[in-house]
Amino acid sequence: MKSRLLLAMLLGIGIAAGAAAQPYPSKPVRFIVPFAPGGGTDVLARLLAQSLFEPLGQPVIVDNRPGAGGVIGAEMAAKAPADGYTIVLGSPGPLSINPNLQRVPYDSQRDFAPITLATISPFVLVLHPSVPAGSVKELIALAKSKPGQLNYGSAGTGSVSHFSSEQFKSLAGVNITQIPYKGAAPAITDLLAGRLHLMFENLPTIIAHVRAGKIKLLAVGTRTRSTIVPDYPTVAEAGVPGYESSTAFGVLAPARTPPPIIARLNRELANIMKSPGIREKMTAQGVEAVGGTPQEYAAHLKEELAKYGRIVKAAGIKLE
């Protein structure tokens, strides 16, 4: 009887050791997307998931968990087992903006292990063609001559478009009025119809209207000129030093995920970002592929968190 028990224990230990020794990954990886299916975030996640299948040798399954501006999905990822089988697509809303506006059930820096900054796209300053300004400096002069009379649309209070505009107001010293909408789409509709004077909007969302000549693009929000619209200056070089606004998407894992797994995922995602086919697809959508190191992404997240904190304090932004 004792010999049978000992044999069973040894077999159990052997099975457990064999499972622990299995190379990563040995089962499908869950990729949490904190937003609903069909949007730009979801499209990017599915492109990355499909591209990871071959190098990992396992399916990467997109798991959409929308709600609370991305907080629900981010919390789920933060509290998942740190074994490399759960990753999350990070963005400014849940990681940098919401923590500055409300209490969230995670710490953006403590509870995640950055893997890579996957893509970045500028928020761009666009005007309705009827606005008599052909440059950032001309727009600033116009706004100062008509304080409070120019309006701008946003995707809602606390959105990146709102923060982009408030940062511009603060640094340029102008008084323009926010018209908040429930999402970018209705705001863009009103901009096209001339009911709004201007917007700061993500380049992928607005680029088709710019190319069609329906709205004027004055400048891009990134620190350097965009490779997608290289003829347009940055807002900073066009007259507002210190301005920076972009949307960055990155991939993270729960904190304490083993470093070898982080390194493996970083390597595979960096290779994907370098792929000419992937870069071409992203450029067509107005997005620039990045694919940096975990340390670079961690530094980016820290900087974004501090930047949005400054904007919240300067503009006195509160959730409605």
pLDDT in tens, 157-196: 999 999 999 999 999 999 999 999 988 999 999 999 999 9
Indicate if the pLDDT at residue 89 is higher than 80.
Answer: yes
pLDDT of residue 3: 53
Same domain, 227 and 131: yes
* Residue 205 within a domain: yes
Terminal alpha carbon distance of the chain: 70
Over the chain, what is the mean pLDDT?
Answer: 92
> Which of the residue ranges 66-70, 155-159, 179-183, 284-288 would you say has the lowest mean pLDDT?
284-288
d(CA 158, CA 71): 13
Q: Where are the alpha helices (DSSP H) in 151-229?
A: 160-172, 184-192, 203-211
pLDDT tens readout for residues 224-265: 999 899 999 999 999 999 999 999 999 999 999 999 999 999
Phi and psi (nearest 5°) for 289? -75, 140
- Token pair recorded at residue 124: 């761009």
Summarize the confidence of residues 16-37 as an average pLDDT: 82
CA angle 229, 231, 233 (to 5 degrees): 95
pLDDT of residue 320: 65
Indicate if the pLDDT at residue 286 is higher than 90.
Answer: no
- Token pair recorded at residue 287: 């997005």
d(CA 133, CA 54): 50
pLDDT of residue 10: 46
* Residue 13 within a domain: no
Percentage with pLDDT > 90 across the chain? 82
Q: Are strands 246-254 and 112-127 parallel, antiparallel or unpaired?
A: antiparallel
pLDDT of residue 38: 82
State pTM to two decimals.
0.84
Domain endpoint, select from 245, 273, 295: 245
* Residue 19 pLDDT class (50, 70, 90 cuts): very low
Same domain, 57 and 88: yes
Indicate if the pLDDT at residue 20 is higher than 70.
Answer: no
Q: Are strands 198-202 and 29-33 parallel, antiparallel or unpaired?
A: unpaired
Same domain, 76 and 99: yes
Number of domains in the chain: 2
Same domain, 227 and 142: yes
Q: Provide the domain limits for residue 220.
A: 122-245
Helices (H) and strands (E) in the chain, counts: 12, 10
d(CA 10, CA 31): 36
d(CA 24, CA 85): 9
Same domain, 113 and 251: yes
d(CA 233, CA 66): 35
d(CA 133, CA 216): 9
* Residue 167 within a domain: yes
Describe the crossing of helices 294-315 and 160-172 by its angle, rounded to 10 degrees. 60
* Residue 319 within a domain: no
* Residue 16 within a domain: no
Summarize the confidence of residues 35-62 as an average pLDDT: 93
d(CA 103, CA 97): 11
